[in-house]
Structures are given as structure tokens and as C-alpha cells.
Amino acid sequence: MLRTGVVLSGLLAGCTSAATTAAPAPVSSASSSPTSDDNGGGLGGGAGEQSTAPRSTTMTTPEPSLGTPSGVKEVDGTCPYISDQDFADGEGDRVGRVTLLQTKPVGCRFYFQYDVNTVIGEIDVATFKTRVQAYNAMVGSAKGHPEVQSDPAIGDGAVAFQKPLQGTNAWLCVFVKDSTVVTVRTQQPYPALNALNLARTIAPRFK
């Protein structure tokens, strides 16, 4: 887990199928750069990140942000993080075309075997300067999602919540490993288990 001088045990509550849990609080970091933000919250949310600067200035996590940029180029290829079959088993649909998203680091997109226009899942990867920034980005990704579930055993911690994929409010899982944040999207509207299981399979690839 992160060595930040802040006790992190208990910040990520265990995930259960019967009930959702609140997202963990972000960790303060002196390495973040203060920027003006009238809304009072960076990726980690206004309640978690502390600052000694004036009220109009908050500590925010710098770019890169999470998610796939609009219009990103994709080319056919093999995902380096998970096999086609393992993704199909975890997500619950048969995989057809697989593309590599031309981001840095590279991402992956999986299409349904019987409909080349249907995306059944995505993997997006973002790297940050420090572990604290990455952890706060993971926590902040679930801000505003009361349905969030958390799992401390995936990577250095993970959250799962719902967000649209091709118009469907489907489940995704965001986990952090050191200074890397990985977002695993599925087209499954319920339950969160598919996204969590996929993240659990992928996490060991990130050392």
C-alpha cells in the first residue's frame, strides 16, 4: 500500500454483493501543485485534500486524467493486459475484434463477436508522478456515485461504480497500483462483480 505517513487501513471498505460502501477518502499530498478552483475540489474531492493556501486555492491532481480521450485512434491488436478469452469469461460476452487504443500507456477496447459496433469493454491506463496522486485520482473517480463499492485487495485499492458505455449505465472498476491507475469498463449494467473480477485478473500485470 501507499507509504504516505497517513494510515490507509480501513479507508477502503470490503466489497459485498449485498450492499455498497462509500468511496475511501483521498490522501493529502504536499507534492501536488496548487491551482485555482472555485468549485473547491480536485480529483480527490474538496473534503479530503487539505491546503494551507487561501480558500480560493485547492490542491488538485495534475494531468493525465482518467478515461479514453475523445476520438483516440485504435488499431487491431492483442491486449497486453489480458487475453481475449479471459476478458470474455470475466465480462460475460464473447469477444470478437480487439483494438489497441493509441494512448500512452496503450489502452484496449473489446467488441462483441456478433456485432462489430458493440463495445463490451475497455481498459484505460493512466500514470501519475506519485503514488499519492494516483491514489487520489482513483478515489476521486467515484465522486458523486452513491452506488460505489470498494475493494482494498485489488492492486493497492479499487472502486467500482456505474458510468455510461455506449449509452448504457454500466459498471466499471478503477484500481491503483503504485503510480498507475487502471480503469476497466464493462457493458454490464448489473452487478459490479464482472468489473471487479476483471480488475482482479488484470492487476497482477502491473508491478
CATH number of residue 135's parent domain: 3.40.1000.10
Closest listed residue to residue 195, CA positions, set 169, 180, 177: 169
Q: Which domain holds residue 183?
A: 74-205
Note every long-range contact of 61-65, with CB atoms under 8 Å and residues 24 or more positions apart, other chains counting.
61/32, 61/128, 61/133, 61/136, 61/137, 61/140, 62/32, 62/33, 62/128, 62/129, 62/133, 64/126, 64/127, 64/128, 65/126, 65/137
pLDDT score, position 119: 96
Task: Tell me: pLDDT of 76 over 50.
Answer: yes
CA distances 104 to 29, 46, 124, 126, Å, are 24, 29, 10, 8
pLDDT digits (tens, 9 = 90+) for 47-68: 333 333 333 333 344 445 677 7
Total domains in the chain come to: 1
Quick check: is 117 in a domain?
A: yes
Quick check: is 66 in a domain?
A: no
Quick check: is 46 in a domain?
A: no
Res. 27 pLDDT band, cuts 50 70 90: low
Each residue of 127-145: b (16+ CB within 10 Å) or e? ebebbbbbbbbbbbbbbeb
Quick check: is 29 in a domain?
A: no
Check if the beta carbon of residue 19 is closer than 8 Å to that of residue 147: no
Quick check: is 60 in a domain?
A: no
Quick check: is 161 in a domain?
A: yes
pLDDT digits (tens, 9 = 90+) for 4-21: 333 333 443 433 333 345
**Which one has a higher pLDDT value, 59 or 194?**
194
The set of cell numbers assigned to 202 is 488484470
Check if the beta carbon of residue 178 is closer than 8 Å to that of residue 206: yes
Quick check: is 113 in a domain?
A: yes
Quick check: is 56 in a domain?
A: no
pLDDT digits (tens, 9 = 90+) for 88-136: 999 999 999 999 999 999 999 999 999 999 999 999 999 999 999 999 9
Spell out the alpha helix ranges (H) of the chain: 84-91, 131-140, 193-202
Lowest-confidence region among 23-27, 51-55, 193-197: 51-55
